[in-house]
Structure 1
C-alpha cells in the first residue's frame, strides 16, 4: 500500500483499497480532520470515479494509523461537498 492510499472495510466486511484524494481540517463542527477517498477501480453507472469522505480519528501511538468515522450530520456533509467541489474546480483550473 502506498502512502496516498488507505484500506477501508465496507458494509459486507470486505477490505477495499482506496486512493486518498485529499484531506482537510475544518473547525465548523469541532476541530476535525476529514479525508476524501476513491475506491480503486470502482466507478458509477456513468463510468465516473466514486468518491466518499469520512472523519479521521488519529491514533494515539506512533504506530497507530487511526480510524475513520462516518459523517452522519447532513450540514457536515454539505460542508464536505462544498470543500470537495472547490477542490475539483482548482484541479480542473490547473489542468487548463
Structure 2
C-alpha cells in the first residue's frame, strides 16, 4: 500500500506516491473508474517522467480512503478476476497499437 498526495497542474492530475520507506515518485493520472461489481474505485497512473516517451508503464490500483481520513491510499489489485476486469476497462481505451484513445 502506498500513500497518495494529489495536486492539480495545467488540467492534469499529478499524484505523488510515497512508499513505506518514505520515497516519493511523481505520477500522472490517466483516468479513474468505479466498479459496481466489486464496489471499489480504481485508478490508472503512469510515471510523470515517461510523459513524452513512446510507451509508458501504466499501473492500476484500488483507491481507498486512508485510515487517518486525510487522503487516499492505493492498494495493489491481487485478485485475478478483478485484475481481468480492470484490464478489460483499460483495453476499451486503447487502440490496436496500444495507444490511449483519450
Counting strand residues as a fraction of each chain, which structure ranks higher? 2
Counting helix residues as a fraction of each chain, which structure ranks higher? 1
Gaps of 5+ in 2: 1-6
Q: Provide, for residues 31-62 of structure 1, a one-character-per-residue CA deviation record: whole Å limited to 9, x for no partner.
A: 1000000011148xx9511100111112578x
1:18 maps to which of 19, 27, 43: 27
CA distance in 1, matches of 2:67, 2:24: 23
Please report how far the alpha carbon of residue 69 of structure 1 lies from its aligned counterpart in structure 2 after TM superposition: 0.8
Between Structure 1 and Structure 2, how many residues are aligned?
89
**Any residues of structure 2 matched to 1:36-51 within 5 Å, and which?**
36-42=44-50, 47-51=54-58
CA-based RMSD: 3.0
- Over 4 Å off, 4+ runs: 10-13
**Any residues of structure 2 matched to 1:1-96 within 5 Å, and which?**
1-2=7-8, 4-10=13-19, 13-29=22-38, 31-42=39-50, 47-59=54-66, 64-89=70-95, 91-92=100-101
Gaps of 5+ in 1: none
Higher relative contact order at CA 8 Å, sep ≥6: structure 1 or structure 2? 2
Query: Which stretch shows the higher mean deviation, 72-81 or 3-12?
Result: 3-12
